[in-house]
Amino acid sequence: MLPDKDHLTLCFAHAAYRLADRFALRGTGIKHFEVRGFDELQTRLHEADVLVVSGLWKNELIDHAPNLRFIQSISAGTDQFSKPLFKERGIRLASASGVNARAVAEHAIALMLALSRRLLEARDNQHKHHWRGMIGDLSRREDELGGKTVLVVGMGTIGHHFSTLARAFGMKVIGIRRHPEQGANGADSIHSVVELTALLPQADYVVLACALTPETEGLINQAAFAAMKPQARLINVARGRVVDEPALIHAMQQGLIDAAGLDVCVEEPLPATSSLWDLPNALITPHSAGETRRYEDNVLDVLMGNLDLLWKNDANQSVQAPLRNQIV
């Protein structure tokens, strides 16, 4: 059972996020501390009943956590956690899925606008103190989102928020989701992933907002790029491995697609030797789509809701309500 509020100890573990600072402002009275690195986490984990963590977690830490009863992941991903081991040790686990959905959707729109309005070129010209003249070549001018078609792969919470924004710009939204029978979720039409290749030629923009699964890994590959319009632009706010990266580099170098806005890459940080850095038609952000000024508070909202559910479940053993984003 989880200790009551007066006897609970929380550990926040992250290299950069200000979780403890934001938590203290809530005035809960719950005892808590924060660690910034793996070694410190390993040393102090025995003090914690509840751990709020993401990238610092290693499964061998479980042997240093005799009191641990619940882990609230800071991120949506939970691949680093051993679910069978957690079940064996009686440790509950929940993700932070959805807490940054609106932010990621806005970031995808920002990448689209930056590419369509040629902001990369404008910034480069600013650094060179160069005022670009008027352009006669239509293909080299700034573009508009209105009237364009966007194909969204992944129509979960992020896809829903993105579709709302895209339609506000006057775009047609074609959605792809694993279970299209669950509804369009904001898209003008909804389809299964097996229809991807047939739908790609319609898209001016392809936005990836899906989870990384065996079905989606390498989904955007050489065949997909061959099916896309030469004027099409790829936006990836999902996971790097959804895209075949060598095929992407080849497609951009050969003009098979116009440009790409990437918040994620196969290897992160992106190696200095990657060809992606030097492609003039690539806009790269450092997996920062969800990192807004509200991120910590959004995670803490999920944490507090799940603590309340755990306490209620302990008080009423006959009725066990599922946690928000429950994994174990």
Residues with a catalytic annotation lie at 239, 268, 287
Closest to 73 (Cα-Cα) out of 14, 130, 149, 121:
14
Per-residue DSSP letters for 42-59? HHHGGG-SEEEESTT--G
Q: Which two tokens stand for residue 208?
A: 């990836």
CA dihedral 184, 188, 193, 197 (to 10 degrees): 180
Compute the distance between CA of residue 260 and CA of residue 33 in angstroms, rounded to an integer: 41
Q: How far apart are the first and last CA of the chain?
A: 15
Q: How long, in residues, is the chain?
A: 328
- CA separation, residue 107 to residues 120, 126, 167, 193, 239 (Å): 15, 23, 16, 24, 14
177, 159 contact by CB (below 8 A):
yes
